[in-house]
Amino acid sequence: MDMGHGGLPRTADVVVVGAGSAGCVLAERLSRDPARSVLLLERGPARWPSDAVRDLRTLPITADSAYAVHHPEATGLGVVRGSGFGGSSAVNGGYFLRWHADDFADWPTGWGLDEVATAYDELDRPGGTMGVSAFGDDELSDAALRFEAYWGQRMPIRPPDDPWPIVGVNRVRSNRAGMLRMTAAEAYLRPAARRPNLVIRAAEQVDGVVTSGRVVSGVRLGDDVVDCGEVVLCAGTLGTAAILLRSGLDTVIAGDVLTVVEHREVLVHYRTRARGSRTALLQSVVHTDDDLEIRCYSADLADYIDGLAPVGPAVGVAAMRPGTPGTVRLGATGAEVDLSVVAADVADRMANGVAAVVGMLGSSEFGDLVDERSVTVDPVIRTSQHAWGSMPMGSRTDPRGGGRGGARAAHRGRLDPAFTGSQRSSRNHHDGGVPDRGPAHRWVVTKWCRTGPLRSMPWLHHSTTPRSVPISAAAPGPVISAISPPTAARSSRRSGSSSTATGSPSTPASPPRRPTPSHAMPG
């Protein structure tokens, strides 16, 4: 394994771009065949995330973090993604709830409930690949205990042995080993790293794909070119968009702007009468029948993100369907995002959710915890870091990932902008996804990459000998696959990823109408 700088291989059977949640899986799966040479390229640091980075009680996403990339956003919101081995799965909140079962009703052939459930089972069953477990009663924060007590009197509670979320109270399941995130790098890449046919290179920025005529033949990194039989783009919704925009493939990209969609969130802050112990950020959520997710954050976000001004703990109200559309274009340093104003009907639903949260914080369940005079509503509608929709099924890609001229995509960007990345379950961050951060839907990819022939993934066709797929119908050439969490053609209304936002001046508690976006730094 080569994780250093310089001396890039000149050729490979497959080049995987991005060592995040999907890239780690694909590199492991593809390199199982010793006759196939695989080159994994990652822009982040050439070291495994330490235990301090993986600690669920911290979010290492500050501007100076080696493990985070901050994308400019036109309205001042923070758009943050993970960087390095594991991508957003190394820095997010470790939220691993499935989507709701009925979210898969409209998925295309090959992505129905039965297929996806099989993938989920491998990932999150006891002893599964991702080390998923629900937080125990003895691990809950004071806020989470009261949150579940309050809502448990008003809504159903998901049974602890049921992996499928419900409309009601859902104890969060987390991909973890104790209080350390179980990242894609730990679960997939690190065990495969010594394979002689797998070359891993970090601190490498892929500038674009290379074409010969109208056929993709490799990737470009500055003045270097790597020729290959297949390119698999796993740089996430924003990173992949930037690579394709830089490449100028008019068969894939029409114009210089792509769509991106987000779940927006309002935070209700409060102050506690006594400081509790720090634990994982998000341990319990409520999913409503009008497509909101109410998130009980365990403590002040400043306890998790260095340098953040303390403003008190928060409860988030996120609109999971429909998502709020925006655009992504190429800027001087990469992807630049412009998130539009939240639609009036969505803002009204969020305001109703905020009113319910304010009522909860004034209830007897929270009476000995919350200083009732301190409850304030953040005037900013923030983001959950669940970007999708840059290469959606139906317009830019088909259900098998085929794009214009034969290019392929298979990442969360394939979700139709009209939908949402699963609603009632948060998906971290943090995407990872992230994470993304890393949400369970992202990990469905990992199961199909780990079992059976690669062709079992309907959006990626591959054989032992790399074969060509045309970019134009007449010209054969390798496939471009953009891999990231395949959050479904319907972008489920229920599962997302835990989000974190920086504090800003808050207003007295009252339901917001349409707060003006300003700076935020979600995790």
Contact 349, 324 (CB under 8 A): no
Residue 177: pLDDT band with limits 50, 70, 90 = very high
Greatest Cα pair distance, the chain, in angstroms, is: 71
- If phi > 0 it is left, if psi is from -120 to 50 it is alpha, else beta; for residue 6 that is left
For residue 480, pLDDT beyond 50: no
Task: Identify whether the C-beta of residue 498 lies closer than 8 Å to the C-beta of residue 510.
Answer: no
Confidence at residue 447, expressed as pLDDT on a 0 to 100 scale: 36
For the residues of 89-148, what is the DSSP string, one character each? GGTS--B-PPPPGGGGTTPPTT-SHHHHHHHHHHHHSTT-TT-EEEPPGGG--HHHHHHH
**Across residues 59-70, what is the average pLDDT?**
95
pLDDT higher at 484 or 368 = 368
Identify the domain containing residue 27 by its residue range. 11-508
For residues 105, 413, 422 and 163, what is the CA-based torsion angle, rounded to 10 degrees? 90
Residue matched to tokens 């991106």:
260
273 pLDDT above the threshold of 60: yes
Residue 499 pLDDT class (50, 70, 90 cuts)? very low
d(CA 141, CA 145): 6
With respect to residue 513, please indicate whether it lies within any of the assigned structural domains. no
Residue 100 covered by a domain = yes
**Residues 6 or more apart whose Cβ sits within 8 Å of residue 136:** none
Cα torsion through 279, 280, 282, 283, rounded to 10: -70
Our measurement of the distance from residue 66's CA atom to the centroid of its chain's CA atoms, rounded to an integer in Å, reads 18
C-beta separation of 100 from 165 below 8 A: yes
What does DSSP assign to residue 517? P
C-alpha–C-alpha distance, residues 193 and 449, integer Å: 16
**Separation between Cα atoms, residue 368 and residue 478, nearest integer Å:** 63
**Confidence band, pLDDT 50/70/90 cuts, at residue 325:** confident
Predicted confidence at residue 71, as pLDDT, reads 92
The whole-number pLDDT of residue 53 equals 97
Strand partners, 497: 427
Tell me if 516 is assigned to some domain.
no
Is residue 154 domain-resident? yes
Query: Which residue spans within 178-304 are E strands per DSSP?
Result: 180-181, 198-201, 208-212, 215-221, 224-233, 257-269, 282-287, 292-297
Retrieve residue 517's tokens: 């976006």
b/e for 335-352, b at 16 or more Cβ within 10 A? bbbebebbeeebbebbbe
Contact 464, 33 (CB under 8 A): yes
| Inter-CA distances, 451 with 17, 18, 123, 189, Å | 21, 21, 12, 15
Confidence of residue 323 (pLDDT cuts 50, 70, 90): confident
Confidence (pLDDT) at 317: 98
Assess if residue 49 is contained within a domain: yes
Q: Does the residue 519 lie in any domain? A: no
Q: Is the per-residue pLDDT at 409 higher than 90?
A: no
pLDDT band at 208, cuts 50/70/90?
very high
Domain CATH for 263: 3.50.50.60
Res. 429 pLDDT band, cuts 50 70 90: very low
* pLDDT of res. 443: 43
321 within a domain of the structure (yes/no): yes
Nearest to residue 419, comparing CAs of 288, 500, 319? 319
Tell me the mean pLDDT in the region 157-172.
96
Q: What is the mean pLDDT of the chain?
A: 78
Provide the domain count of the chain. 1
User: Residues 342-397: pLDDT tens digits?
Assistant: 999 999 999 999 999 999 999 999 999 999 899 999 999 999 888 876 665 555 54
Number of helices (H), then strands (E), belonging to the chain: the values are 9, 23
| 362, part of any domain | yes
pLDDT tens, 103-139? 888 777 777 899 999 999 999 999 999 999 999 999 9
The letter for the amino acid at 201 is: R
